[in-house]
Amino acid sequence: MNGKMELLFWQLVYFFIKQRYRIIQLSNHSHEIWLESLENKHVPIVRVVRYDIDWSQWLKRDMEYAWRIAEQIQKRRIRRFREIVNIYVSTYPPVDDWEFLIEKPLPLSQKRNAVFRTFLIHSGNVNMSLQQLTEIVQTPIVLPTAVNDIDPFFEAERLKQDILREAREQHERERRLFEYGKPVFTYIFIALQVLVFLLMEWSGGSTNPAVLIQYGAKFNPLIQEGEWWRFFTPIFLHIGFLHLLMNTFALYYLGMTVERLYGSWRFFFIYLIAGFFGTLGSFLFTTSLSAGASGAIFGLFGALLYFGTVYRHLFFQTIGTNIIGLIIINLLFGIMVPGIDNAGHIGGLIGGFLASGIVHLPNHLDWKRQVRTLLVTVSAAALGLYIGF
């Protein structure tokens, strides 16, 4: 094994990490590494392989394997991209003809105009290959010059350990994102809506319109007369046991996730603002008496979508696809089934997203973004109230 090429391999991986790529897959022997960019929209995925290739047949088989993996990766992605780059670092090129294998990029069938491009870097074409890579990733690739009296194997091992340590630390940081807070207000809100439901049943029934109005359901004429608290009180009221049961389960599962992500006080703010926007949406677009935590619960979906704008890669690797699917299914269900307040759901979804932008994620400070979101939120609420009144 050539020490200079081993060092080049790890220098190349280190370069991509410094360009805010993250390791998403690592082989057992650390000689096949897949990286995903947090910022590069054109080349979001890079694969780097260290292997001394003897024959082009091996290269062909491995390219086919990597292309299939690339197909699977891009099927899971919503964001459009142009290229996935596959890089081999080999001491020498194959002894037989191989250039025709990488001469043209392979198309990725699921994405229009997306391609799988391969580079083979060997000791005779390092500078030319790095120049070609620079043009593809649109960032100058400048690698440190090896010092003559330093063992390249030793330096490669040191760089390897630094990279693997950084990958472990990154994984730990991402794991802690989902364990920031404890679900305090989730349990409080569940207990509160169950308690209010029991009081309503005791007062004459949760499906009784008079009882619903008495306890603060959304009722447009009374809101227009100045009972502004009815923008918030419907969050804790439910019409019938099935309504309560469904929203309690939804609040439990979504609330646990969102409160762990954002912390208790941020969760409290997001839930109430989402509930307000849910009621406001219902107030603007429906005249019927309504109540329920659905708007606030859709706001929790909005909070998770906002998390996805900050940690797009982590969002889609964990909960993203399921969350988007659930939102679409619930909105379609609301359109097809009579009696469901879809305006309240959409209002809550928007409110939860905006409220999350105001408080932002824990340990993240972006005052400009937060102030802009606050102004948008206040303007949207003011416009809605102006139209409604």
Neighbours of 341 (CB within 10 A): 24
Tokens of 205: 């029934």
Q: Position 160: which residue type? A: K
CA 182 distance to own-chain centroid: 21
Cα separation, 35 vs 86, in Å, equals 10
Cα separation, 50 vs 121, in Å, equals 10
Tokens of 134: 């620079």
Instruction: Please pick, among 238, 345, 356, 360, the residue that the annotation labels catalytic.
Output: 345
| End-to-end alpha carbon distance in the chain | 77
364 flagged as catalytic: no
Cα separation, 202 vs 194, in Å, equals 12
CB 36 within 8 A of CB 44: yes
294 flagged as catalytic: yes
Label the pairing between strands 115-121 and 21-26.
unpaired
Q: Which residues pair with 291 in a beta bridge?
A: none
- Residue appearing with tokens 């469901």: 340
Neighbours of 195 (CB within 10 A): 11
The CA–CA distances, whole Å, from 385 to 84, 273, 286, 295, 346 equal 48, 14, 14, 17, 16
DSSP assignment letter at 47 = E
Residue 124 neighbours by CB under 8 Å, 6+ apart: 92, 93
Closest CA to 4 of 52, 63, 48: 52
Instruction: Please pick, among 37, 56, 129, 294, the residue that the annotation labels catalytic.
Output: 294
User: What positions carry a catalytic annotation?
Assistant: 294, 345
